[in-house]
Amino acid sequence: MSTGKPSANAISGSHPFAARRSMNQLTNKLFTGIVWLIGICTILFIIALLYTILQKGLPQLDWGFLYGEPSEIEEGGGIGPVLFNSFYVLFISLIISIPLGMASGIYLAEFAPANKFIAFIRICVEGLASVPSIIFGLFGIVLFVESLDLGLTVIGAAISLAFLNLPVLTRVTEEAIRSVPQEMKQASFALGSTHLQTIRRVLIPVALNGIITGICLVAGRAFGESAVIILTGGVTSSGVMWDFNPLDPGATLAVHLWYVQSEAIVPDARLIAEKSAAVLVFIVLMINIVFRVPMWLNARKMR
């Protein structure tokens, strides 16, 4: 990396490295320009993308659409039951996966001795995190549709989704708890707390920010997940609002978006799809923003 010596009054003509230096300056300027151009273009593109989705759908929303029942043939179908299913499936899957994921994360962060068995568990968690979502769908079919003979149900979809969430929650919890300063833990032990008391009263409250961010991430992902639900929950819903029966078919909003756009025969499919996409993106953004903003503010205050 030998370039010309920078001197205040370099006489460019006679300097032996002059040609190379001006070349270097040129590539540097070119590089900066290209990076700025591509950076700005991509960011504008992404913002335009989000804007398009929201702008096409949101202004046309009304309660009738959000609350109404989907129709197979006629115009004007709503998304009420599928929207409800989305939350219902998400809720059940989180109820199952949060305790399990947190417990295994705590184990990996706190109890696990550094031996081969733990290294193995850790590889398993990472491996499970990288398994494509459709595989969880196939697994759900074998488990719920074939072995238990339940058919396509809300509960099958929710449990398959919980399996998908588990490794992410485990890793997030582990990392959050590991990042708690050792002094806090030692102080708690020094006061005579047991390990469980330390975990409950010190580690989890301090790591809560990280854990909640992780849960939001997982919830947003689960809310928009469709491949798993198509295979285990089906593409139809029971068609009525407030149907809490976990053995009814469990199509969610994300599945409905795909179904309406590619399979259904309703004349206003495009419109329904646009509105559904807007609702979907809006809710996912809300899940991410509403829980995180207070934390950002908190983090700022702490500094």
Partner 1 sequence: MSMMEVPNLGTVYSGEELGRSLEGSSGKAFSRRARLSFYNRTFKIVCIASAVFVCLILFSILLLMGRTGILTFETVSLKTFFFSTEWVPENEQYGAFIFIFGTIALTLLTMVISVPLSLIIAIFLSEMTPAWLKNALRPVLDLLVGIPSVVYGFLGMTVLIPMLRSVTGTTLGDGILAAAIVLTIMVLPTISRITDDSIVAVPKKFRDASYALGSTRFQTVVRVVIPAAKSGIMYAVILGMARALGETMAVVMVIGNTPQLADALFKPTSVLTSNIVMQIPNVPFDSAWNYALYMMGFILLVISLIMIVVVRAIQGRGVKS
Restricted to residues 243-262, the positions that interact with partner 1 (CB under 8 A) are: 254-255, 257-258, 261-262
Cβ atoms 173, 211 nearer than 8 A: yes
- List all residues 6 or more positions away from 44 whose beta carbon is below 8 Å from its beta carbon: none
- List all residues 6 or more positions away from 98 whose beta carbon is below 8 Å from its beta carbon: 169, 215
The CA distance from 237 to 75, in Å, is: 18
- Range in contact with partner 1 (rule: CB under 8 A) among 32-40, 66-74, 175-183, 236-244: 32-40
Per-residue binding string, partner 1, 180-219, x by CB under 8 A, is --------------xxxx-x-----------------x--
Dihedrals phi, psi of 42, to nearest 5 degrees? -60, -45
Cβ atoms 246, 155 nearer than 8 A: yes
Q: How far apart are the first and last CA of the chain?
A: 40
The CA distance from 155 to 157, in Å, is: 5
The CA distance from 27 to 33, in Å, is: 10
Q: Does 85 bind partner 1 (CB under 8 A)?
A: no
- Least distance in angstroms from the C-beta of 39 to partner 1: 3
Taking CB under 8 A as the criterion, the residue among 12, 20, 43, 187 binding partner 1 is 43
Nearest to partner 1 of 31, 87 (CB atom):
31
As to burial, measured by CB atoms within 10 angstroms (0-12 exposed, 13-18 middle, 19+ buried), residue 180 is middle
Q: Which of residues 45-74 bind partner 1 (CB under 8 A)?
A: 46-47, 49-50, 52-53
SS3 87: helix
Q: Which of residues 137-166 bind partner 1 (CB under 8 A)?
A: 137-139, 141-143, 145-146, 163, 166
- Least distance in angstroms from the C-beta of 90 to partner 1: 12
Q: What is the dihedral of CA 125, 131, 135, 136, to 10 degrees?
A: 40
Nearest to partner 1 of 88, 227 (CB atom):
227
Per-residue binding string, partner 1, 102-131, x by CB under 8 A, is -xx-xxx-xxx-------xx-xxxxxx-xx
Task: Supply 267's token pair.
Answer: 């004349």
Q: Does 167 bind partner 1 (CB under 8 A)?
A: yes
The CA distance from 125 to 118, in Å, is: 10
Taking CB under 8 A as the criterion, the residue among 12, 20, 22, 34 binding partner 1 is 34
Q: Does 238 bind partner 1 (CB under 8 A)?
A: no
Q: Does 288 bind partner 1 (CB under 8 A)?
A: yes
- Range in contact with partner 1 (rule: CB under 8 A) among 59-67, 71-79, 177-185, 231-239: 231-239
Give bridge partners of residue 237 from the DSSP assignment.
250
Cβ atoms 129, 200 nearer than 8 A: no
Nearest to partner 1 of 5, 179 (CB atom):
5
Taking CB under 8 A as the criterion, the residue among 58, 61, 135, 206 binding partner 1 is 135
- Least distance in angstroms from the C-beta of 257 to partner 1: 5
192 φψ region: left (φ > 0), alpha (ψ -120 to 50), beta (else)? left
- Least distance in angstroms from the C-beta of 53 to partner 1: 6
Q: Does 272 bind partner 1 (CB under 8 A)?
A: no
Nearest to partner 1 of 78, 86 (CB atom):
86
